[in-house]
């Protein structure tokens, strides 16, 4: 069992990672909430079907009165309407200010459950139990919550740190192949940002990881969460340092938006974004060619990515419209070496364009 502390104000919390942890979730929750009575598990039908019983039995065993509250599947239901419907369900199930909300699912469920908990009766406690790679290595830690608007993703949200994060790598065994791989790119991202050993392990053990060997999965989740915990602890509200977590996301987001969020999974777009950032870093001599190639090669070795066919000029235009650009300046997080990245904001447009063209070539 690995316990990682996320040091945020006013109350630090732990992420606990262990294979089979789900069956002990009830007891773990008791440690944090000795007198808690009711908990409300926000989830989607598929997760409830596959893992709901294990969780329900564990909660009942620790004398929790647990209610499952279901939301519909999919990113398009990460919405205010879903939050409202869930809040109505909570009131009907008798949730009061002492209710504990549990987000039991992927990043969509985690973001919705976290947002719901932050506004329900002006804020109740939330515990995250992530069930996808993306959610286990990234979304469940850090306290960012949110829902989408028609105008864009994550435009409404809050910071609401969980009281506890319980991560059971075993639940990844039922994840569809593409979803599984998509999350691995976020772990690889953590390696490039600040953990050369994690990167090397993903470079040399790609096959074992793709076969979902438990020890490998646990290792990469633990190392990714450690990195996220360190960054979040130092910069809870994403003013500066936390921006490094956006490595691969600048161009990744542009690729997603230019394909209406229907073509790439988020992690896949980030994977191409990391490749592009490496090409850019090498072109402006932030890093050497060998490092850039290592990042590209390791990314591509984690499986076939959907081809990049969008017009590169459109991608550049989308970059300039991104909500994270400040005063029209596009910020790139670029690698210097494996384990070190840097924010760069004066990359010539021609170089960005060339890097995106390079993605088209690489995906042929
Ligand atoms: N808050 C943050 O810091 C943060 C960080 C990264 C991503 N996110 C958000 O996370 C979302 C993406 O999360 P995601 O990639 O986990 O997608 P997701 O939540 O849509 O899950 C992917 C799919 O896998 C299914 N699933 C989940 N667990 C399963 C399991 N164990 N077995 C079988 N199927 C399972 C889900 O029902 C869904 O169909 C995006 O909305 C993104 O904005 C948030
Ligand atoms: Zn991401």
| pLDDT score at 325 | 61
Q: Is 92 a catalytic residue?
A: no
Question: What is the per-residue DSSP string for 158-190?
Answer: -B---SEEEE-GGGGGGS-HHHHHHHHHHHHHH
Is the predicted pLDDT of residue 241 greater than 90, yes or no? no
Give per-residue pLDDT as tens, 176-207. Answer: 999 999 999 999 999 999 999 999 999 999 99
**Whole-angstrom distance, CA of residue 333 vs CA of residue 23:** 39
Is the predicted pLDDT of residue 328 greater than 80, yes or no? no
**Whole-angstrom distance, CA of residue 254 vs CA of residue 187:** 20
Is the predicted pLDDT of residue 237 greater than 80, yes or no? no
Q: Give yes or no for a contact between 291 and 337, defined as CB atoms under 8 angstroms apart.
A: yes
Taking residues 283-312, what's their average pLDDT?
96
Mutational test site, ligand 1, from 6, 105, 162, max ligand atoms within 8 Å of CB: 105
Give per-residue pLDDT as tens, 251-287. Answer: 999 999 999 999 999 999 999 999 999 999 999 999 9
| pLDDT score at 324 | 60
Model-wide pTM > 0.75: yes
Is the predicted pLDDT of residue 238 greater than 70, yes or no? no
3-state secondary structure of 1: coil
Active-site hit among 3, 122, 285, 364: 122
Q: Which ligand is nearest to the CA of 333?
A: 2
User: Cα dist. 95→39, 74, 84 in Å?
Assistant: 8, 25, 14
| pLDDT score at 326 | 62
Is the predicted pLDDT of residue 215 greater than 60, yes or no? yes
Q: Which atom of ligand 1 is nearest to the CA of 148?
A: 41
Q: Helices (H), strands (E): how many in the chain?
A: 15, 11
Q: Give yes or no for a contact between 187 and 248, defined as CB atoms under 8 angstroms apart.
A: no
**Whole-angstrom distance, CA of residue 102 vs CA of residue 100:** 6
Taking residues 213-240, what's their average pLDDT?
90
Give per-residue pLDDT as tens, 73-122. Answer: 999 999 999 999 999 999 999 999 999 999 999 999 999 999 999 999 99
Mutational test site, ligand 1, from 114, 134, 267, max ligand atoms within 8 Å of CB: 134
């Amino acid at each position: 069992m690995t316990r990682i502390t996320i040091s945020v104000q006013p109350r630090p919390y732990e992420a606990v990672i262990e294979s089979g942890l789900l069956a002990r979730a009830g007891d773990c929750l008791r440690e944090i909430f000795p007198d808690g009575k009711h908990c409300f598990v926000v989830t989607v039908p598929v997760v409830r079907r596959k893992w709901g019983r294990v969780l329900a039995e564990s909660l009942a065993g620790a004398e929790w009165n647990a209610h499952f509250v279901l939301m519909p599947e999919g990113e398009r239901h990460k919405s205010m309407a879903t939050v409202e419907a869930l809040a109505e369900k909570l009131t009907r199930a008798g949730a009061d200010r002492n209710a504990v909300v549990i987000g039991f699912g992927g990043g969509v469920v985690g973001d919705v459950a976290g947002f719901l908990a932050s506004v329900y009766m002006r804020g109740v406690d939330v515990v995250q139990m992530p069930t996808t790679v993306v959610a286990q290595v990234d979304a469940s830690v850090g306290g960012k919550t949110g829902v989408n608007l028609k105008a864009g993703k994550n435009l409404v949200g809050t910071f609401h740190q969980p009281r506890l994060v319980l991560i059971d790598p075993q639940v990844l065994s039922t994840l569809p192949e593409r979803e599984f791989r998509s999350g691995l790119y976020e772990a690889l991202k953590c390696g490039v940002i600040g953990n050369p050993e994690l990167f090397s392990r993903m470079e040399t053990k790609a096959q074992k990881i793709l076969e979902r060997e438990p020890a490998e999965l646990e290792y990469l989740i633990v190392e990714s969460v450690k990195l996220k915990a360190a960054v979040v602890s130092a910069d809870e509200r994403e003013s500066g340092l936390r921006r490094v977590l956006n490595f691969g996301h600048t161009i990744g987001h542009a690729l997603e938006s230019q394909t209406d969020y229907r073509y790439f999974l988020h992690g896949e777009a980030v994977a191409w974004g990391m490749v592009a950032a490496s090409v850019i870093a090498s072109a402006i001599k932030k890093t050497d060619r060998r490092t850039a190639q290592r990042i590209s090669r390791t990314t591509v070795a984690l499986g076939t990515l959907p081809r990049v066919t969008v017009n590169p000029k459109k991608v550049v235009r989308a970059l300039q419209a991104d909500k994270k650009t400040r005063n029209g300046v596009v910020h790139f997080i670029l690698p210097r070496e494996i384990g070190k990245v840097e924010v760069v904001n004066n990359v010539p447009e021609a170089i960005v364009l060339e890097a995106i063209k390079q993605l088209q070539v690489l995906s042929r």
